[in-house]
Amino acid sequence: MFPVQMLSRLGALARRFASRWSQRRRCSDSRVAPVRYSANRRVGVLSLVLLLPSLGLGANAPELPLYADRASDLDLAVTGLLAGADPGARRYARWSDLARLPKTKLRLAGEFGPGEQEVTVVFLSDLWAALPVQGGADTLLATCSDGYAAVYLTTFIRDYRPFLVLEINGQGPEKWPPAGLRFNPGPYVLSVAASVVPSVAELIDAGHKRPWGVTTLEIARLESRFGALFGGPWARAGEVVRQGRELWIHSCASCHRGPAEVFGGTKSDRPFALLAAQARGAPDYFRRYIIDPKGLVPTAKMEAHPHYTEAQLDALTAFVALGVAP
């Protein structure tokens, strides 16, 4: 089957250049930037070896063919603000076509088990440039087979250089999991590495940018996709509440949906209204639960966040509490 032609390459590049960098939103402040540390989400990235060049911000990346039908479980679904596609349309990228984008080989330690592994990656900057992105889009949303989610603003993509993993030790996802890993991280893994960009080590929740089991990427505009968080009681948010909103979007939304079913993961079964009621009615309990959930509820599934500062806890509590009418 022939790929769906979204628009000409020249028009795509012109629109991307005009839209991606004219409406920048910063998410790189280490006080509120995203991350999540978990045995399954992996941390501990060490050394980097660049064997194949990447093309910077991806201005010269080839256009990625997208197909109307899924041909394999290894196809990556792409949806959202796709130029030339109907709203809600879903297209599919083949692994073989992703592998034709500019690739880089990295050596990562502790990412997929003990020791060091060589991984073949495509930087999200090159993937973004290869996609038929509508004007105004500024965000890539990843969803995973286990209900996890991750958010990547174009400014984050530019500053922290996240990447899509195609191969681990020379083997594609059809041969995963790699030796030493007890679970299959496929079909795709997204990650960041301090060996690529040293400031990754300063992110407070870098694990939230390392989802595995990624099945779908959505092209979006942040303030539209998370619209409910920028209107209503949050429309005139002060600085503290804005910082709390950044924490929610880049950390909490990995597992929690927001009000009005705003984009987020589905690993948590706690509705936003319940969290808002706790933040407003029992703020001390809300804060303690964030720091050490199992200390309060032994069966809790949520990970502990003992690294959150008082200021970050203040910000997150203030933001979530606005979800309940005073």
| Residue 2 predicted with pLDDT over 50 | no
Q: Are 186 and 160 in contact (CB under 8 A)?
A: no
pLDDT in tens, 23-60: 333 333 333 333 332 333 333 333 333 333 333 445 56
| Amino acid 60: pLDDT | 66
| Amino acid 35: pLDDT | 32
pTM beyond 0.85: no
What mean pLDDT value characterizes the chain?
85
Q: What is the largest CA-CA distance in the chain?
A: 58
Q: Which residues pair with 190 in a beta bridge?
A: 164
**What is the CATH architecture of 226-321?**
Sandwich (2.60)
| Amino acid 9: pLDDT | 43
| Amino acid 20: pLDDT | 37
Domain limits of the chain?
A: 9-224, 226-321
Q: What is the DSSP letter of 64?
A: P
Mean pLDDT confidence for 163-180: 95
Q: What is the DSSP letter of 124?
A: H
| Amino acid 115: pLDDT | 87
Q: What is the C-alpha to C-alpha distance for residues 270 and 249, in angstroms, rounded to an integer? A: 16
| Residue 118 predicted with pLDDT over 50 | yes
pLDDT in tens, 72-117: 999 999 999 999 999 999 999 999 999 999 999 999 998 888 889 9
CATH topology of domain 9-224: Sulfite Oxidase; Chain A, domain 2 (3.90.420)
Q: What is the C-alpha to C-alpha distance for residues 78 and 129, in angstroms, rounded to an integer? A: 14
Confidence grade of residue 122 (pLDDT, cut at 50, 70, 90): very high
Q: Give the percent of the chain with pLDDT over 70.
A: 81
